[in-house]
Structure formats: C-alpha cells, structure tokens
Amino acid sequence: MEIEIATIGGYEEVGRNMTAVRVGSDVVVFDMGLDLAPVVRRDLDGEVRAVVFSHGHLDHVGAAGVLAERYDAPLIATPFTMEIVKGELGARFAGDLVTMAAGEGMDIGDGLELEFVHVTHSTVGAVNPVLHTPAGAVVYGLDKRLDHDPVLGDPIDMARFEALGEAGVLAYVEDCTNAGRDGRTPGEAVARARVRDTLRGVADTDGVIVASTFASHVSRVSSLVECAREIGREPILLGHSMETYARTAAHFGYPEFEDVETRGSRVGVERALRRVRNEGREDFLLIATGHQAEPRAVLPRLARAESALALGAGDVVVFSARVIPDPVNRRRRAALDRRLERRGVRVRDGVHVSGHLRATGHRRMLRALEPRTLIPAHQSVEGIEPYVALAEARGYERGEDVHVARNGTTITLAE
Ligand SMILES: [Zn+2]
C-alpha cells in the first residue's frame, strides 16, 4: 500500500504547521496553523478522512477557520484543544467535531487507526497523534518537551512511546524548534520555582507588578496566580486571550482559575485598572497579554500610558516568555523595553522555560521510537540542520531515512 507524507507547512519556518499523510486513497491531515491559507495551493490527492489537531497553539489551529471547511471530514482533538479550535471556526462551521482523550484510539478508515499519546508542552491538552497504518505507525511529534513533573496534568507518556517503538514506527515527524540547544529542557516545576523566586524578589515594591506570559500556557498562568497570592497580592488576568484560555481552563476544572478576576474587553480591563489605582497598586499582580509587545495588547498600552493605570517608577514588569524570533517581534519588544526603562519601570526578563525538546530529549525520543524514517519540522531550513546532525550521529542518513523537506513536497514512505 502506498503511503506518502505531504509537507504542507511548517517545514521552512516556526509556525504555519500542516502535514497530511496519505495511505492508499485515504488522507489524514494534522494541524492547520495560522497564516497557512496562502501556502495550501493545491488539493490533496485522495479522500480526507480526518483533520487532527495536536494542541491549541495558533501555529497549529489558527487556520482552522479558513481551511477546515474545504474538507468533508471530522475534526478530531482533545476536549481542551477542541474548545480552542471552536473559537477559530466560528458559528458557520457545520462539520463534525469529535473529541478523543489522550490514551485513546479510534478507527478512521479502512485499516487506519488514530491514537492520541499524552505529551507535555506549553499548553494543556497536548498530544502527539499517531496514525497506525498497515506498514507501521506514523507519529506526528509536534510539539512537546519531556516533563516528568509537570505542575498541571500528567507526565509525558514515555511508556507508550516505548511500546510504539517496539511495535514498529514507520515515520516520525519531529519538532526541531530547540534541536540546536544542548542539554535537556527543564520541566514546568523549574519554571514555577523561577516565577516564585522572581516574584519574592520584587514583592516589597510599592508599585504594581505586571507579569506577562503566553495566555495559552495554562500551567504558567496558574503559577503566576499561585505565587501572586503567596506574596500577598491579588492576581488579575487581563486581555482578550487571557480571558479565552482562563475561561476554558476553568471549564475543564483547573481550580486555580475559578476565583480570579479576569477581564478581556477593553472596557473590562479599564475597570480593573481603575480598581487597582483606587485600592492601592502595591496590593496587585496583573497577569497581562503583551509579552511580544503586540501594540493592542494590555502591557504595551500600560507602558504607553494609554490606560487608567500608567506604569512608572516603583512598578515592576516580569516577562515569563521568550521573544518569538521574528524581526517584527524583536523590534517591537526592543521599543517596549526602552519605553519601560525611560519610565523607570524595573524589568525582570527570561523567567521562562521552553516547551520544546532540546538535543537530549530528541535523543531520548529516538531511543524510544527507533523510527525507520525521520521527517524534521517546525524550524527554518537552517534550524533543521542541528537535528539532522543529531540523527546522523545515531546512524541515520540524509536523503535515505532523514528527509529534509521544503513546504509543499511529498515524501514516499511505502509503495
Ligand atoms: Zn506548540
């Protein structure tokens, strides 16, 4: 039976992820990332049986609203991820939405089974989907790190990856984001300790503390909430995406989010900021959008003094995120840093741990899965090279069993 992988997006950049696997005449699509629509130029050969989402980050679900309706196929995701996908689809979407928990599987075509393996990443509800074909398993490995002590949810299911390896893995599509970094990615417990240490260090300031992280990083937001309370400050979540994810997290029973004031709309944010100003800024820790200095997000507006609360001397800003390496983000963030400095705001940067595997984790995954074929993804063309070197050191060969693909190519796995 002919098996092919179509590398639609995410093979020349970090973002815009979409991959299709064709087994005979059946096609399964994995992820539909933001800004992807322009690169999906041609129809997929074969009948699309399912569109599967690995997790709720926008570079994996952000094009669902544009692309999902092109295919007459169910959308499949974990319950948490599906809530995020629904937000992208809008009310017009009429297709089937199917949820499946990590650790479960379902038939999706003739001799095809889809399985979700639980992984740990910088959002909750993340899985590595596995497509079981007659020629072996295709493991879609975007995105994860190996966290054995996560602050929310279960550790990564390494036992299942080992079992898949023993049964035979035909191909492994891998997240190469941090493949060029040595060592292993620390777990989220380390990030929580850094958050705690940083916040205790600035706890006695007379001003307000504003912390910013990825709204989708539910574990990190929960750490900020918890550590805010530990230092005697009331946490308030501010910004549209903070509200979206906090509401979803509360819906799925994460208790940290239940009693936290959360404001998404501009009017709601202003109301909360007036309360902070009136009741005393030294009593609050604001968890706000804007770590990438997006102009309309909350933190940049506070820095530009466009809100009821303007940041100034005595206030502290904590960045619990990295700058996404893109020229626009870098320029915006540098401008935000200069503005904060001019206003006399103290800044604590880099209070963060990545959600992606480094070299040690990649080697661990190769040992567990022993895939016949490797398909590196989720990086620029240059960024994939460290992963190729790491694979070659383990006996893989470029062009033979490591396929470095551009967007829009097809790799034949079995004929
Ligand atoms: Zn991700």
- Whether residue 44 is predicted with pLDDT greater than 90 in this model: the reply is no
Residues with CB under 5 A from ligand 1 (ion): 57, 143
Q: How far is the CA of 55 from the centre of ligand 1 (A)?
A: 7
Q: How far is the CA of 310 from the centre of ligand 1 (A)?
A: 33
- The H or E element containing residue 77 is strand 75-77
Residue ranges of domains in the chain, CATH in brackets: 3-184+355-414 (3.60.15.10), 188-348 (3.40.50.10710)
Residue-level pLDDT at 42: 60
- Give the C-alpha separation, 104 to 120, whole Å: 17
Q: How far is the CA of 177 from the centre of ligand 1 (A)?
A: 10
Residue-level pLDDT at 43: 67
Q: How far is the CA of 175 from the centre of ligand 1 (A)?
A: 9
Q: What angle do CA 178, 179, 184 make, to 5 degrees?
A: 75
- Whether residue 265 is predicted with pLDDT greater than 90 in this model: the reply is yes
- Range 179-206 average pLDDT: 97
Task: Compute φ and ψ for 300, nearest 5 degrees.
Answer: -60, -35
- Give the C-alpha separation, 411 to 231, whole Å: 54
- Please answer whether residues 63 and 20 qualify as being in contact, where contact means their C-beta atoms are separated by less than 8 angstroms: no
Q: How far is the CA of 57 from the centre of ligand 1 (A)?
A: 5
- Whether residue 37 is predicted with pLDDT greater than 70 in this model: the reply is no
Residue-level pLDDT at 118: 98
| Choice between 253 and 101, residue whose per-residue pLDDT is larger | 101
As a residue count, the chain comes to: 415
Q: How far is the CA of 33 from the centre of ligand 1 (A)?
A: 10
- Give the C-alpha separation, 52 to 55, whole Å: 9
Residue-level pLDDT at 75: 98
In the block, residue with structure tokens 């072996």:
136
pLDDT tens digits for 46-86? 899 999 999 999 999 999 999 999 899 999 999 999 999 99
Q: How far is the CA of 69 from the centre of ligand 1 (A)?
A: 23
Q: How far is the CA of 145 from the centre of ligand 1 (A)?
A: 10
Q: How far is the CA of 344 from the centre of ligand 1 (A)?
A: 34
- Whether residue 93 is predicted with pLDDT greater than 80 in this model: the reply is yes
Q: How far is the CA of 116 from the centre of ligand 1 (A)?
A: 16
415 pLDDT tier (thresholds 50, 70, 90): confident
Structure tokens at 136: 């072996």
DSSP state of 283: G
pLDDT tens digits for 132-165? 999 999 999 999 999 999 999 999 999 999 999 9
In the block, residue with structure tokens 């928990």:
101
Residue-level pLDDT at 326: 82
Structure tokens at 10: 């995410």
